[in-house]
Chain A
Amino acid sequence: MPKPLEAVNDFVVKFANVNGSGSASANGLFAKSVLRMGVPASSRNIFPSNIQGLPTWYEVRISEGGHLGRRGGVDMMVAMNPETWDEDIAEIEPGGYLLYDSTKPLPKSKFREDIFVIGAPLTAICNRAYDDPRQRQLFKNIVYLGVLSALLDMDVAAIEELIGEQFRGKDTLIKPNVHALHLGRDWAQTELACPIGLRLERRDKVGERIFVTGNDAAALGAVYGGATVCAWYPITPSSSLAEAFASHCRRYRRDAETKKSRYAIIQAEDELASIGMVIGAGWNGARAFTATSGPGISLMQEFIGLAYFAEIPAVIFDIQRGSPSTGMPTRTQQADILSAAYASHGDTKHVLLFPQDPNEAFTFAADALDLADRLQTPVFVMLDLDIGMNEWLVEPLSWDPDRKYDRGKVMNYEMLEAGAEFGRYLDVDSDGIPYRTLPGTHPTRGAFFTRGTTKDEYARYTEEGRPYVANMQRLLRKFETAKRYAPRPVKREAREPTRFGAIYFGSTTLAMEEALETLETRGIHLDTLRIRSFPFHDEVFDFVASHERLFVVEQNRDSQMRSLLTIEGEVDPARLVPILHYDGTPITARFIVKAVADMLAVVTLAPLKKALP
């Protein structure tokens, strides 16, 4: 029997539940209570493509040290789903704890010898306390939270406070929930040895940070960035972004006097229509966006190409998920990198932004609207399910009060009236970005016809080769210009000089940072570069050039970012070592540590062998 795990404010609790059983609210309450105790935490919802009945998990990482990515492994499992019992039990660390409903006895073979089993007769407690079957089910979740609060020595006042806030306005629900909490807590304190080795202690380490999902923050960024038109089609995991935009708009975008809306949201008939509306609105000078996921990007391909060639601003939030149809779609991946970067037919490439968390999702959402207008092109904000749908503990959102929207090169009535030369596709100052006019601007000047590629610099119809080539070259110059405006990569140097580097992006950041710390304790030092946008800045290739071997860490099977680096930078692929996590769950620090260590063992072995005769 191993020693029981002992930790204060640094462990992983995982809840295994049945979808639709009302567990989400109790589990969320647990994570938020930890935060209320001043201890940093993050949560990850691993859910099925289903409304009721299939297994769902909720994993809470508690880390006083501030490691909020997924660590890997589980220290305390709250196993409430018989269907996934075996795999849930298997996931517990040796010396870890299992909390389960012991109302019905289970054979010894269903448990492990090397974990600490804590049975609480949750069903029996609820059946005694409630007559209504629905209440018995719902309050069971709060009862296990009560048990857990005793086991982990949680501050019950923090939980009660949150229950009060959660049911504000529905005050009759507060008392019964607090009662249920104490049913569990009192039972545990009487019947069990509390607390166990894992404990929570009040700290003041959360500070000003906020607990939000990336979709909510990105939607708010779209509000702040001045988006007025949103067209979308429901698809997991992006729907909550459009819905959050609607809810933020109801709050912030109603005219104070008339109550009329300063926004228009259309739930379109499909993704083709969504992007079409966004392009129509962008063409006509409104800031517009859509939110979708991989399958939606596939459907939008033709339109995205048209927007690229016709040079129309559009913002596309791609909340990446796994594969088409059902199943993996409720799991996270970074698997749309290539399909977004080169979306559509013909020679196209697009600006991509890679926010690392909800805070950056907010910032990049607003930035993307500026970038799209400045560059007159579609801009992708590459979120994923992990950032989009999970609540993250991040720095509070902030907005520069002096910030003005960058509407880019729009020729207005005064300029046209003053006789400025207007050529819709004319590169007047060699940055590749032409001026555009909006419909309705001037009675006799500035009108033009928007088409694909059959045009000259003055938007006149032509199918000749020379103007086509010239236009394609100008689009390349414009893509180069994009680097001036897109967020630059973030570089971090290892504590000791090293030949090895690592490149990562997006939601991998937190797990990566923790992995780097762990690796350092093992004497493995890596310089790192976090890519924040495509096209790649020169720093990216300088970084590649200055390291012998680089790990490219990403959450897809085909090392798509690595491919993009080799294509765009003509980098020798052999120097870029892929580290790939794509089982649908967010990448963990332990996974990265193991992969890097294993790879380095192989990589560093080679010169040794060479040294031998």
Chain B
Amino acid sequence: MTYIVKPRLHHPKLPINALGYTHRDYEGSISTLCAGCGHDSISAAIIQSCFELALPPHRIAKLSGIGCSSKTPTYFLGQSHGFNSVHGRMPSVLTGANLANRDLIYLGVSGDGDSASIGLGQFAHCIRRGVDMVYIVENNGVYGLTKGQFSATADKGSKARRGAVNTDSPIDLVAMALQLGASFVARSFSGDKMQLVPLIKAAIQHKGAAFIDVISPCVAFNNNPESTKSFDYVRAHNDAVNQLDFMVAREAITADYAPGTLETVVQHDGSMLRLRKLAPDYDPRDRVSAMTYLQQRHAAGEVVTGLLFVEEDHGDLHEFLDTVEAPLNALGENELCPGQEALDRYNAAHR
């Protein structure tokens, strides 16, 4: 099987963004995932987000591990460098890439097997370090490419299509990300583009570790009625705490809102996040109460979605390491090599 090239032709009247690019300039090659796969909706959301933000595609690096979700970077941002790394290890490769050049946007795409099972360690540690990235987990509770085994995010008691029941407790990556110090945490649903696109846009603009858990049902292996990761289940139990209207700077707020229902967050780069509250008492700046709320709703069988936590000035790994402003990969001999004189001093000190 050779990969399928999409024709570059497009309708002359397709809308263009501030860079003069059309939506098509953000697409990749044709998806080889199953028809109806939630992951393709997430790819579409990524494409729309980057188009609307008018990002130069070549300034984005997309990295993934192994699995169905990790195949998706081929299907979006064809003008971006991509890296299909090894299973569960995307976070370390992304961290290294980020260290080499702090000027690019890093988009890490992973799955629940890739991040919660084999890659739980790397997931945790890259969040802890505050790597400036968008980390998206396309979460379907199941291994697709190896045909239907449970992953570590599958709920206890969840039943697979062929009848197997999961007896292990699930890992909630959102709860972990909160505990580990992520400065932007969100959950969404692949079937709700209205909710997902603004979250991705806000995550891209966020400086620091931004984590989005996207429930993305697997139509082939985990969309049966007894699954808690099916389209129907998530629709029925979706407890959205807020609706994010992402705005770039300087855009005036025009609509009228009832007092106490609107919250504005100004991000590091000046972009503004306008949150319409759906759960009146939910405060997305309070890490501890966010964690409590999640636990309570989870116990009630609900799937909490929305922008769950944001900390605007948390900083990122480069700030913590106090690295120079210039990308490390752009430094040459003059900046890096101390020269013979320094070596003479070193020699003298070791006699």
Q: Please name all residues of chain A whose beta carbon is closer than 8 Å to the beta carbon of B149 when the two chains form the complex.
A: none
The 8 A CB mask of B218-258 against A (1 = contact, 0 = none) is 00000000000000000000000000000000000000000
Q: How far is it, in angstroms, between the C-alpha of A452 and the C-alpha of B104 when the chains are bound?
A: 23
Q: How far is it, in angstroms, between the C-alpha of A263 and the C-alpha of B322 when the chains are bound?
A: 9
| Interface contact B85-A276, CB-CB below 8 Å | yes
Q: How far is it, in angstroms, between the C-alpha of A442 and the C-alpha of B56 when the chains are bound?
A: 10
Q: How far is the CB of A548 from chain B (nearest CB, A)?
A: 44
Q: Which residue of B lies closest to A460 (CB)?
A: B3
| Interface contact B61-A439, CB-CB below 8 Å | yes
B276 at the interface (CB under 8 A from A): no
Q: Choose among A223, A258, A276 the residue with the greatest number of B CB atoms under 10 Å from its CB.
A: A276
A580 at the interface (CB under 8 A from B): no
| Interface contact A255-B324, CB-CB below 8 Å | yes
Q: How far is it, in angstroms, between the C-alpha of A224 and the C-alpha of B340 when the chains are bound?
A: 10
| Interface contact B84-A451, CB-CB below 8 Å | yes
| Interface contact A439-B125, CB-CB below 8 Å | no
Assess A211 versus B351: contact at CB under 8 Å? Given A269-B121, A284-B100, A302-B86: yes
B206 at the interface (CB under 8 A from A): no
Q: Please name all residues of chain B whose beta carbon is closer than 8 Å to the beta carbon of A209 when the two chains form the complex.
A: 351
Assess A273 versus B97: contact at CB under 8 Å? Given A253-B336, A444-B58, A461-B3: no
| Interface contact B336-A262, CB-CB below 8 Å | yes
Partner of B342, one of A252, A274, A282, A303: A252
| Interface contact B100-A288, CB-CB below 8 Å | yes
Q: How far is it, in angstroms, between the C-alpha of A247 and the C-alpha of B56 when the chains are bound?
A: 39
Q: How far is it, in angstroms, between the C-alpha of A211 and the C-alpha of B347 when the chains are bound?
A: 9
| Interface contact A261-B324, CB-CB below 8 Å | yes
Partner of B81, one of A206, A223, A396, A450: A450
B323 at the interface (CB under 8 A from A): yes
A242 at the interface (CB under 8 A from B): no
Q: Please name all residues of chain A whose beta carbon is closer than 8 Å to the beta carbon of B58 when the two chains form the complex.
A: 439-444, 447
Assess A396 versus B96: contact at CB under 8 Å? Given A276-B122, A462-B2: no
Partner of B347, one of A210, A258, A262, A460: A210
Assess A286 versus B347: contact at CB under 8 Å? Given A280-B93, A451-B84: no
| Interface contact A273-B122, CB-CB below 8 Å | yes
Q: Please name all residues of chain A whose beta carbon is closer than 8 Å to the beta carbon of B82 when the two chains form the complex.
A: 447-450
Q: Please name all residues of chain B whose beta carbon is closer than 8 Å to the beta carbon of A440 when the two chains form the complex.
A: 58-59, 61, 81, 101, 103-104
Interface residue ranges of B56-88 to A (CB < 8 Å): 56-59, 61, 63, 73-74, 78-86
| Interface contact A276-B93, CB-CB below 8 Å | yes
Assess A226 versus B84: contact at CB under 8 Å? Given A264-B323, A441-B58, A464-B2: no
The 8 A CB mask of A254-291 against B (1 = contact, 0 = none) is 01001111111110111011111111111111101000
Partner of A260, one of B93, B324, B333, B343: B324
B281 at the interface (CB under 8 A from A): no
Assess A399 versus B3: contact at CB under 8 Å? Given A276-B96, A306-B85: no
Q: Choose among A223, A226, A398 the residue with the greatest number of B CB atoms under 10 Å from its CB.
A: A226
| Interface contact B96-A258, CB-CB below 8 Å | no
Q: How far is it, in angstroms, between the C-alpha of A265 and the C-alpha of B129 when the chains are bound?
A: 12
Q: How far is the CB of A608 from chain B (nearest CB, A)?
A: 52
Q: How far is the CB of B62 from chain A (nearest CB, A)?
A: 9
B337 at the interface (CB under 8 A from A): yes
Q: Which residue of A lies closest to B87 (CB)?
A: A302
Assess A439 versus B104: contact at CB under 8 Å? Given A229-B328, A399-B343, A401-B339: yes
Partner of B100, one of A229, A268, A269, A450: A229
Partner of B338, one of A224, A285, A438: A224
| Interface contact A450-B83, CB-CB below 8 Å | yes
Q: Please name all residues of chain A whose beta carbon is closer than 8 Å to the beta carbon of B99 when the two chains form the complex.
A: 228-229, 264, 266, 277, 280-281, 286, 288
Q: Please name all residues of chain A whose beta carbon is closer than 8 Å to the beta carbon of B121 when the two chains form the complex.
A: 269-270, 273
Q: How far is the CB of A374 from chain B (nearest CB, A)?
A: 16
Assess A449 versus B97: contact at CB under 8 Å? Given A397-B346, A399-B339, A461-B2: no
Q: How far is the CB of A510 from chain B (nearest CB, A)?
A: 18
Q: Please name all residues of chain B whose beta carbon is closer than 8 Å to the beta carbon of A252 when the two chains form the complex.
A: 338, 342
| Interface contact B93-A261, CB-CB below 8 Å | no
Q: Please name all residues of chain B whose beta carbon is closer than 8 Å to the beta carbon of A265 when the two chains form the complex.
A: 321
Q: Choose among B56, B85, B121 the residue with the greatest number of A CB atoms under 10 Å from its CB.
A: B85
Interface residue ranges of A85-117 to B (CB < 8 Å): none
B13 at the interface (CB under 8 A from A): no
Q: How far is it, in angstroms, between the C-alpha of A429 and the C-alpha of B212 when the chains are bound?
A: 45
The 8 A CB mask of B48-61 against A (1 = contact, 0 = none) is 00000000111101
Task: For the complex of A and B, list the 5 residue pairs with the smallest distance between their C-beta atoms, beginning with the closest.
Answer: A280-B96, A276-B92, A286-B100, A277-B96, A439-B81
Q: Given contacts A262-B324, A399-B337, A463-B1, list 4 more A-B pairs with CB under 8 A.
A: A220-B343, A269-B122, A450-B82, A452-B84
> Which residues from chain B sit less than 8 Å from chain A, CB to CB?
1-3, 56-59, 61, 63, 73-74, 78-86, 89, 91-101, 103-104, 121-122, 124-125, 129, 318, 321-325, 328-329, 331-333, 335-340, 342-343, 346-347, 350-351
